[in-house]
Amino acid sequence: MQGEIRLEELTKTFGEAVAVDGIDLHMPPGEFFTLLGPSGCGKTTTLRMIAGFEQPTSGRILLDGTDVARVPPHKRNVNTVFQSYALFPHLDVAGNVAFGLKYQRLTKEDRRRKVKGILDLVRLGDFAERKPEQLSGGQQQRVALARALVLMPRVLLLDEPLGALDARLRKDLQVELKAIQSDLGVTFVFVTHDQEEALTMSDRVAVMNLGRVEQASSPREVYEEPRTTFVADFLGVSNLLDADATADGGACSLRIGERAFRAEQGETGSRGEVKAMIRPERIGIEAHGAAGDNRLPGMVERAVFLGGSHEVHVRVLGGELLKAMISNDGSPLPFALEEGTPVTLYLPPDGLRVLASSQEPESTADAAARPVRTAPSR
C-alpha cells in the first residue's frame, strides 16, 4: 500500500521567524492524519511543504521512502484541497475536475469516465456543466475534493477544507469526508484549528504549537492523556492547577494549596513542582460538607446552562476557579445551581492527571500573536 509520509527534522524559517521547528512525523499509508493547532503554529506551512509550495529550510520529506523535498509540486504525487478551494473560475465543474487528468496518459474516453465517476462519488453528477460561481460553498468544496481525488494521489492534503462552511454543513461533510477516505484508502493529511473536527475524523492527531509537535497520538489519547499542558488546554476544557508532587505508594500525592490529593494518571513519577489537570466532566459536585479523600470545598460562582449539561464554575478554597460539568439528565441535584452556594468538589484519583511543569509551553494567545507567516493571506 502506498501513501506513507515521513517528515524528518523538517524546518522552515521565514527570515527571523521560525514557522516549523524541526518536526518528525510519521503518517502511515491509508491513515487520516490531522495537524491540529492554533493559527501560526506551523501546521499550514508543514502542509505546504508536503505539497511542494514551500521549500523546507532543512530536513527531509519522504514520500514512500523517496525524499521529495526538492521536487517541484507538479511532479509530486500528492494533491491538495485548498482552504479557498481555488476552483478555476473560467472552467466548468467537469473542466475543473479534468484539469489534472491532462497530465496522465489517458484516452479521451477514459478521461470522461473518470470525471463522471468521481463526480458521482461526491454526488455532483448533475452539476458537470455548472461554473464554480453557480455552486454553493459545500458544492464547491466537493468539486475541489473531486478535482484532487480524480488523480488518485497517494496522499491527499486538506488545508482547513471545511473552514468556510456553516456549522451544519461542516458536520455533514465531516462524515462524508471520513467515509470517502475509508472507501478509497488514500492517506489524508488534514489541517485544522478545530479540535472537535480533529477528534471526530482522525485516526491520529498531531497537536502543534510554535512550530513543534506537542503530541501525536490517537484522538482518544490526546484528549484523555495529554502529555503537555498545551495539549490539555487546547483540546477541550481543562482545569490546570499548580501542585507539589510527592510519592504515594504506586501513585502520586499532589499538594494543591493546603490539601493533598491522590493522582493516578499521567507522570505520577514526577516529584516537586508539577501541574495537576482534570477535565470538567470528571469532577463531581457534592453537597457542602461531604466527607472523604480528594475533596475540597468551594462556592458556586456561575452556572452556565449548555442544554445537555451545566457548566458550573466553582471558586475553591485557595482562590482557584474550577470548571465542572454536570449532566442535565433529570437526576435531582443535592445543591442549588446558584451563585454563592457552598459545595464540595470531588477530584477522583483516576481523573486527576500529573503533567510535568517543565514542559509548559507559551500560551495559545502568545502563539497566535507571534508574527509567523503560515501562508500568503488572501
Partner 1 sequence: MSWLRNPWARPRGLVIVTVLYILWSIVPVAIAILFAFNNGRSRTSWQGFSFRWYTGSAGSVLHDPALQGALKHTLILAVICVGIATPLGVALALGLQRWRGPGGGTINTVMLLPLVTPEIVMGVALLLLFLRVFPGIGLGTPAQAIGQVTFTLSYVVVIVRGRLTSIGREFEEAAADLGAPPRDQLRRVLLPMLAPAIVASAAVAFALSIDDFVVTQYLAGDSSTTTVSMLLYASARGAPTPALNALATVALVITMATLALALLVYRRFAGGREAAAVATLEV
Does position 335 interact with partner 1 (CB under 8 A)? The reply is: no
Considering only 55, 58, 66, 84, the residue that binds partner 1 (CB under 8 A) is 84
Single out the segment in contact with partner 1 by CB under 8 A; choices: 98-106, 214-222, 283-291, 292-300: 98-106
Considering only 1, 103, 318, 333, the residue that binds partner 1 (CB under 8 A) is 103
Angle of CA points 186, 75, 133, to nearest 5°: 70
CB of 322 to partner 1, least distance (A): 45
Single out the segment in contact with partner 1 by CB under 8 A; choices: 72-80, 133-141, 216-224, 272-280: 72-80
CA distance 210 to 21: 8
Considering only 28, 29, 100, 257, the residue that binds partner 1 (CB under 8 A) is 100
DSSP per residue, 299-364: EEEEEEE-SSEEEEEEEETTS-EEEEEEE-SSPPPSS--STT-EEEEE--TTT-EEEEGGG----H
CB of 190 to partner 1, least distance (A): 16
CB of 126 to partner 1, least distance (A): 23
Contacts with partner 1 in 347-376 (CB under 8 A)?
Answer: 376
* Strand order through the sheet with 309-316: 284-287, 342-346, 295-305, 309-316, 321-327
Eight-state DSSP code of residue 104: S
Does position 14 interact with partner 1 (CB under 8 A)? The reply is: no
CB of 51 to partner 1, least distance (A): 6
CB of 253 to partner 1, least distance (A): 55
Does position 105 interact with partner 1 (CB under 8 A)? The reply is: no
Is the CB of 50 or the CB of 232 nearer to partner 1? 50
Does position 52 interact with partner 1 (CB under 8 A)? The reply is: yes
Is the CB of 54 or the CB of 203 nearer to partner 1? 54
314: alpha, beta or left? (left if phi > 0; alpha if psi -120 to 50)? beta
Closest CA to 374 of 18, 7, 16, 9: 18
DSSP per residue, 158-169: EESTTTTS-HHH
C-alpha cell, 183: 472507501
Residues that bind partner 1 (CB under 8 A): 51-53, 72-75, 78-80, 82, 84, 86, 88-90, 99-100, 102-104, 147-148, 151, 376, 378
